[in-house]
Amino acid sequence: MTLRPVALITGASRGIGRAIAEELAPTYHLLLGGRDASALEVLASSFPSAQPFAVDVRGVAAGDVADIRSLDVLVHSAGVLRMGTVADLHDDDWQDSFEVNVFAVARLTRLLLPALRAAKGQVIAINSGSGYASGAESAVYSGTKFALRALTDALRQEERANGVRVCSIHPGRVATDMQRELHSFEGKDYEPTEWIRPQQVAKAVRLAVDASRESAVESLNIRPSGMA
């Protein structure tokens, strides 16, 4: 019996993370990251080979990953959105945003690097168009995404000699619960069909993980076409 390669996906219970899980499910054994163990159990039962990884990324520790000895793909999809002017944002907004969107990514990656090196695996970070440009009321969210891009750029260079590839995917606005939340903040009507489908981001992840060993998808931008 051929063993499946293993992919750990944070934020796997909804939105982009779930779409990535659905995309990889036919060929990977999935470790489904999230906080709701019961929901993850139900989700895992819908895939050919999957199990929950019920851990809050804010507090992930070495013991949570002790059984993962070899890991082919680590997808960082969990994230939070905080919006507001610099004048109105509080310390908690900054701290929680960086804790989830940056510090947890760095921590989980560091803990899993031995397993990734053993498999010559890949790290894939779901970043954002906000990782390249900021604007009014997006200082904290864009700040985390700029930092995440710096993290993945550095990691890519550091781990190349260890055979670990690193991909940073930068979608524009995606039709998820987070997008609905953003529209509510902006006071705008939300029409999902105007924005990128989560499944399209998942196909970008598939492109990266399927790249043969002599190549690497290092950075990929996806933007709404405005043609829907």
Q: Is the pLDDT of residue 77 over 50?
A: yes
Strand order in the sheet with 219-222: 50-54, 29-34, 6-9, 73-76, 122-126, 165-171, 219-222
| Domains of the chain: residue spans and CATH | 6-222 (3.40.50.720)
What percent of the chain is predicted at pLDDT more than 70?
Answer: 99
Tens digits of residue pLDDT in 127-160: 999 999 999 999 999 999 999 999 999 999 999 9
Residue 64 has pLDDT above 60, yes or no: yes
Q: Is 28 part of the annotated catalytic residue set?
A: no
What predicted TM-score, i.e. pTM, was given to this entire model? Answer: 0.93
User: Per-residue pLDDT for 1 more than 70?
Assistant: no
Tokens 């019961």 map to which residue? 38
